[in-house]
């Protein structure tokens, strides 16, 4: 269950990384007053499908910031998820691309 890994990942982030995560997923480094419960639209975590024959571990998570929609591949372990998310949060700041 990837969403459990994502929640575990979010729980271990320091303040700076929390801001990077929020910026990556929502486009803003801050939550609205009231926290995640007040995000509009609400944060959605979905499985990112990978092309047939490709391994999910080789893909990064992707987002639709205007919808607060996080798509994560079905990584083989929590450690791989952490590596891919750490990379995406650091390298994906201030960039915009169309996602699959």
Which one from 53, 66, 94, 95 is the annotated catalytic residue? Answer: 66
| The token pair that represents 28 in the structure block | 């803003």
Q: Indicate if 66 belongs to the active site.
A: yes
- Residue 82: half-sphere exposure toward Cβ, Cα within 13 Å: 9
Catalytic residues: 66
């Amino acid at each position: 269950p990837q969403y459990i890994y994502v929640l575990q990942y979010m729980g271990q982030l320091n303040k700076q990384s929390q801001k990077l995560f929020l910026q990556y997923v929502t486009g803003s480094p801050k939550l609205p007053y009231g926290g995640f419960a007040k995000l509009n639209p609400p944060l959605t975590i979905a499985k990112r499908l990978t092309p047939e024959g490709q391994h999910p571990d080789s893909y990064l998570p992707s987002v639709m910031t205007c919808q607060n929609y996080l798509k994560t591949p079905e990584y083989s372990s929590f450690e791989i998820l952490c590596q891919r998310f750490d990379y995406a949060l650091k390298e994906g700041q201030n960039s915009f691309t169309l996602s699959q």
